[in-house]
């Protein structure tokens, strides 16, 4: 949802137009997947849970769409409000269900997925980024995820988090400066 969704498309989808609903979901889904992946990360080296949550968000948007009324805020605020709740539910469920999961049956053909080295490097990088993001205050973390991972405008993020676009830009700038400092400190620790 890097571009603003046309209100007419939202209106037609809310009125039950199947083509508009399909176009609307096609437009919002990539951003939702990025948002859920950024918030939930990988579990067992895969984004399956985050992708499932993104799908749940799409379904929840579909169910809520007939009741949607434009109240002056961007449609993204409506969508990412639902996404934030679904992500929180998934995080609570992951804590409850933190038992060992059974492994899949062995593959009958070679796996084209990245090898163990590439997976280890990617997992380590994702872990380091996650650790750095967790050191930010919740509001700054949410702004970074929505602006950088999802690609929303400052106006759209402002509507979601209840800030002006200017305040979002300032908070984003401060969060990025803090991340640079934290990343520098983390690299210094590794080098020592």
User: What pLDDT shows up at residue 122?
Assistant: 67
User: What pLDDT shows up at residue 61?
Assistant: 93
Q: Where are the domains of the chain?
A: 7-98+119-191
Look up the pTM and report it: 0.62
Each residue's pLDDT tens digit, 105-139: 555 666 666 767 776 776 677 778 788 888 999 99
User: What pLDDT shows up at residue 71?
Assistant: 83
Would you place residue 4 in the very low, low, confident or very high pLDDT band (cuts 50, 70, 90)?
low
Cβ(81)–Cβ(160) below 8 Å: yes
**Cross-strand partners of 46:** 43
Kindly state the average pLDDT of the residues 76-89.
Answer: 90
The answer to whether domain 7-98+119-191 has CATH 1.10.10.10 is yes
């Amino acid at each position: 949802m890097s571009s603003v969704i046309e209100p007419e498309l939202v209106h037609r989808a809310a009125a039950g137009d199947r083509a508009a609903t399909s176009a609307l979901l096609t437009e919002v889904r990539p951003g939702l997947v990025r948002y859920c992946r950024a918030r939930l990360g990988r579990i067992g080296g895969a984004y399956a849970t985050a992708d499932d949550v993104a799908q749940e968000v799409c379904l929840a948007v579909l169910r809520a769409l007939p009741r949607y009324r434009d109240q002056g805020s961007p449609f993204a605020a409506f969508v990412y409000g639902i996404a934030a709740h679904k992500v929180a539910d998934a995080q609570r469920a992951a804590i409850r269900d933190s038992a060992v999961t059974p492994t899949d049956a062995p593959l009958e053909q070679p796996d084209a997925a990245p090898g163990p080295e590439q997976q280890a490097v990617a997992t380590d990088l994702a872990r380091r980024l996650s650790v750095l993001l967790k050191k930010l205050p919740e509001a700054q973390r949410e702004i970074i995820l929505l602006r950088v991972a999802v690609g929303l405008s400052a106006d759209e993020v402002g509507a979601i988090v209840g800030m002006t676009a200017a305040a979002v830009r300032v908070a984003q700038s401060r969060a990025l400066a803090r991340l640079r400092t934290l990343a520098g400190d983390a690299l210094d620790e590794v080098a020592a």
